[in-house]
Amino acid sequence: MKFTIITGMSGAGKSQVVKYMEDLGYYCVDNMPPMLLQKFAELCDQSQGAFKKVAIVMDIRGGEFFDDLVSNLEELERLGYQYDILFLDASNEELIRRFKETRRTHPLSMDGTLEEGIKKERKKLRNLRQMANKIIDTTGLDLQTLKEEIRNLYIEGQKGKNLRISLTSFGFKYGIPLDSDLVFDVRFLPNPFYDKNLKEYTGDDPRVQRFVMDHDITREFYEKLLDMIRFLIPNYIQEGKNNLVISIGCTGGRHRSVTIVNKLFKELTEEGNRVTIHHRDKGKKKN
């Protein structure tokens, strides 16, 4: 018997993941107080194999009880029960968009703004995220892709077989993405921002792409970067990593980083990798 603890940011997709886990034969419990974890494990243990696969959602809806989750997990491990932690995450911008679309209230935004509530939650979950065995960033993921991700993680024989690569472009002026595994700074590359004919466009435009890539330093950097990623992929898979977040940053996140991420996405996808792409700051105000 093994427990999967599902946690993470509100709005990141935990309710959908529970449905997929149930389809895979898991007995699922939503919003269990951590103090009941040990007793629940004992009951499952006494069921003579009726509950071999159990998934439990625990998040900040538990209020003050949730603060004791780490200590209760440590006690569970001391008693010999196995568990892993699946952490669902998404960018702050994506979470804000989802809450506005559904018109739901964030659990920690009762006395403040939605953005403040998300920041409080992220801080509250920081240690738990570091403990997680598996992290899925659902930013930009449709439901079918999320379902495939869960199947790849939890169907016997497929678990750990594939690595999902998340490519993110960003602007350093807005901060480094918190979920990054690898961060590369491309601010040393020639900048289309200073070309009045290109300034208003982004790295999605072929003219900007040609400008960025038509320099020896860019081509040399890109080949070295691609070669390193190709080297890392099989080694990360062997180590058991399921998600690799590669963030490429320039000053504003509109030109150079977008160009490099688009090119990486095309080549890594053509080579048979599972890749998602997210341009975090591409649409932000130009100044």
DSSP letter for each residue of 49-77 = TS-SEEEEE--GGGGGGGGGHHHHHHHHH
Beta bridge partners of 56: 5, 29
pLDDT tens by residue, 236-247: 887 767 788 999
Does the pLDDT of residue 81 top 80, yes or no? yes
Torsion angle in degrees (nearest 10) through CA of 92, 94, 99, 100: 110
Which range, 103-112, 136-145, 147-156, has the best average confidence (pLDDT)? Answer: 136-145
What element of type H or E holds 266? Answer: helix 256-270
pLDDT tens by residue, 161-220: 567 899 999 999 999 988 889 999 999 999 999 888 898 999 999 999 999 999 999 999
- Coil, helix or strand for 84? strand
Cα within 13 Å of Cα(116), Cβ side: 6
Does the pLDDT of residue 137 top 80, yes or no? yes
Q: What is the structure's pLDDT at 77?
A: 87
The residue among 138, 133, 127 whose CA lies nearest residue 10 is 138
d(CA 135, CA 163): 12
The residue among 73, 80, 78, 74 whose CA lies nearest residue 56 is 73
The residue among 235, 53, 85 whose CA lies nearest residue 155 is 53
Amino acid at 264: L
**With bands split at pLDDT 50, 70 and 90, how would you rate the model's confidence at 159?**
very low
For 257-282, give one letter per residue: b (16+ CB within 10 A) or e: bbbbbbbbbeebeeeebbbbbbbbbb
Fold of 2-154: Rossmann fold (3.40.50)
Kindly list the domain boundaries of the chain, sorted by start residue. 2-154, 164-279
Q: What is the structure's pLDDT at 156?
A: 57
Average pLDDT on 269-278 reads 89
pLDDT tens by residue, 29-70: 998 888 888 899 888 888 777 788 899 999 888 777 787 888
Cα within 13 Å of Cα(247), Cβ side: 18
What average pLDDT does the chain have?
88
